[in-house]
């Protein structure tokens, strides 16, 4: 067997794999039987209300807190293993910055702690400062930084040592809308490089835009998890506005899903078609065309992550 063959046949390990992970503090289970799989290079959103056990889970994944029972594997090994730890990046929600340092000194300090060689740091620090939008500001001390700039510096620290798995706890809480877009771009860039990202965020619209998979947790338990497509890509009500609703057109739409007539809007009659799959959207436009009618609006009212989150938390309210 050639070396190339043996390398290609060893599968890339999952970024994160936990089985029945549990943490009990003073007879109170704050994480209860958590089973998660995060693929290599996947952006995973870990969502839940305050006190759901998210930070405790992240600490167990980082090897900072020992599980009471269950197993954890990150990048195919133990988070206690220094070789594995070297490949993890972490931006905690409340980072204790060494505010007397300049951003460059701060990054140099953390880079050295992570075992990055001085020569490599000299090249890498300006690169990450640029990447997080702090290019040219690295010589200033952190105590003069705004909250948003500090968050960017924290992010630079998390990605400095080229980790293969990054944990970001509320990475955009102090950022303005431009900063949030930039962080989304940074996450997309990490994903493109094959880096997995485990994201805790309360900003669900943001999670929706960057994550491949999400898990909803409450009171230490996973209520639901799946890919974005599985969670949000199912049935979708679609509003259709045309010049005239003819019997032919109505019959064609009924073949696609349940149809409900809507009041006229802006002079156009309309219906709501309950499509069972998002993928059927073009069939509506086709049906309108084939019926010889003019299409004025085709609006899918997709459920969003926030709606799903609220629904789940409400349904499981009694277990809180
Ligand atoms: N060291 C500890 N000792 C005792 N209880 C703890 C400890 N750490 C966390 N807890 C409790 O575990 C529960 C889960 O806390 P955790 O910080 O993991 O939640 P979270 O989902 O991260 O919340 P938030 O969104 O508010 O950050 C809380 O009730 C908290 O009080």
User: Does residue 320 fall inside a structural domain?
Assistant: no
Last residue of a domain, one of 206, 231, 256: 231
Of 231, 256, 273, the position where a domain reaches its end is 231
Question: What's the domain range around 8?
Answer: 3-231
Q: Is the residue at 88 inside a domain?
A: yes
State whether 152 and 294 are in the same domain.
no
Tally of domains in the chain: 2
Cα–Cα distance measured from residue 62 to residue 235, given in angstroms and rounded to the nearest whole number? 38
| Residue bearing the CA closest to ligand 1, atom 9 | 56
CA dist 231 and 178 (Å) reads 28
Ligand 1 centroid to 53 CA: how many Å?
A: 5
Angle (nearest 5°) at CA 267 between 266 and 268: 95
Model confidence at 319: pLDDT above 60: no
Domain membership flag for residue 103? yes
Q: Is 1's pLDDT higher than 50?
A: no
DSSP 276: S
Domain shared by 212 and 273, yes or no: no
Q: Whose CA is nearest to atom 18 of ligand 1?
A: 53
**31 C-alpha to center of ligand 1: Å?**
9
Q: Is 204 in the pocket of ligand 1 (CB under 6 A)?
A: no
Verify that 196 and 279 share a domain, yes or no: no
- Same structural domain for residues 246 and 116? no
Contact 304, 211 (CB under 8 A): no
What digits encode the pLDDT tens for the residues 242-260?
A: 999 999 999 999 999 999 9
Task: Please give the Cα distance from 180 to 172 (Å, whole number).
Answer: 6
CATH code of the domain covering residue 248 = 3.30.70
Place of tokens 């003819």: 246
**Closest ligand 1 atom, residue 55 Cα:** 22
What spacing in Å lies between the alpha carbon of 32 and ligand 1's midpoint? Answer: 13
- pTM here is 0.81
- pLDDT tops 90 at residue 9: no
Tokens coding 304: 């969003």
- Rounded Cα distance between 211 and 60, Å, is 21
Q: Is 320 in the pocket of ligand 1 (CB under 6 A)?
A: no
Does residue 30 lie within any of the structural domains? yes
Tell me whether residue 315 is in a domain: no
Buried b (16+ CB within 10 A) or exposed e, 260-292: eeeeeeeebbbbbbebeeeeebebbeebbeebe
Residue 288 and residue 256 share a domain: yes
Within-domain flag for 13: yes
Is the domain of 277 the same as that of 180? no
Same domain, 140 and 274: no
Same domain, 67 and 20: yes
Q: Is 201 touching ligand 1 by the criterion CB < 6 Å?
A: no
Residues 178 and 262 in one domain: no
Which run of H or of E encompasses 272? strand 268-275
- The best mutation among 45, 50, 53, 320 to test binding of ligand 1, ranked by most ligand atoms within 8 Å of the C-beta, falls on 53
Closest CA to ligand 1's atom 29: 51
Q: 51 in ligand 1 pocket by Cβ < 6 Å?
A: yes
Q: Are residues 283 and 167 in the same domain?
A: no
**ipTM of the complex in this document:** 0.96
Residue 312 lies in a domain: no
User: At 149, which CATH number?
Assistant: 3.40.50.300
If asked whether residues 142 and 276 sit together in one domain, one would say no
Taking only the tens place, the pLDDT of each residue in 141-198 is 999 988 888 889 999 999 999 999 999 988 888 888 888 888 888 898 889 989 999 9
Report the separation in Å between the CA atom of 319 and the middle of ligand 1, taken as the mean of its atom positions: 17
Q: Is 108 in the pocket of ligand 1 (CB under 6 A)?
A: no
Q: pLDDT tens for residues 15-36?
A: 999 999 999 999 999 999 999 9
- Within the chain, what is the greatest distance between any pair of CA atoms? 75
Determine, yes or no, domain membership for 227: yes
Ligand 1 binding pocket includes 30 (Cβ within 6 Å):
yes
CA 86, CA 205: separation in Å to the nearest integer? 31
Residue at which a domain ends, from 178, 212, 231: 231
User: Side by side, which strands form the sheet with 257-265?
Assistant: 257-265, 268-275, 236-242, 295-300
> Of 279, 276, 289, which Cα lies nearest the Cα of 249?
289
């Amino acid at each position: 067997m050639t070396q190339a063959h043996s390398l290609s046949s060893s599968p890339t390990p999952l970024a994160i794999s936990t089985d029945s992970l549990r943490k009990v503090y003073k007879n109170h289970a704050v994480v209860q039987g958590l089973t998660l799989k995060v693929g290599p290079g996947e952006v995973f959103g870990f969502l839940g209300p305050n006190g759901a056990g998210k930070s405790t889970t992240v600490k167990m994944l980082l090897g900072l807190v020992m599980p009471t029972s269950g197993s954890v594997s990150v990048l195919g090994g133990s988070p206690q293993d220094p070789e594995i730890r070297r490949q993890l990046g972490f931006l905690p929600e409340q980072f204790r910055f060494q505010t007397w340092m300049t951003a460059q000194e701060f990054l140099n300090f953390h880079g050295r702690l992570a075992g990055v060689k001085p020569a490599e740091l000299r090249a890498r620090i300006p690169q990450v400062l640029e990447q997080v939008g702090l290019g040219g500001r690295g010589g200033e001390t952190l105590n003069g930084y705004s909250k948003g700039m500090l968050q960017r510096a924290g992010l630079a620290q998390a990605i400095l040592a080229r980790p293969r798995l990054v944990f970001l706890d509320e990475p955009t809480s102090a950022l303005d809308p431009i900063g949030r877009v930039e962080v989304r771009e940074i996450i997309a860039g990490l994903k493109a490089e094959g880096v997995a990202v485990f994201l805790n965020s309360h900003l669900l619209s943001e999670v929706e835009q960057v994550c491949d998979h999400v898990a909803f947790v409450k009171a230490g338990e996973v209520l639901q998890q799946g890919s974005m497509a599985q969670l949000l890509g199912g049935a979708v009500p679609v509003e259709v506005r045309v010049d005239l609703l003819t019997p032919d057109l109505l019959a064609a739409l009924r073949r696609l899903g349940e149809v409900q007539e809507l009041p006229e809007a802006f002079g156009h009659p309309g219906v709501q078609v309950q499509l069972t799959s998002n993928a059927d959207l073009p069939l509506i436009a086709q049906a309108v065309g084939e019926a010889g009618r003019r299409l004025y609006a085709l609006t899918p009212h997709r459920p969003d992550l926030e709606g799903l989150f609220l629904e789940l938390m409400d349904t499981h309210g009694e277990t809180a």
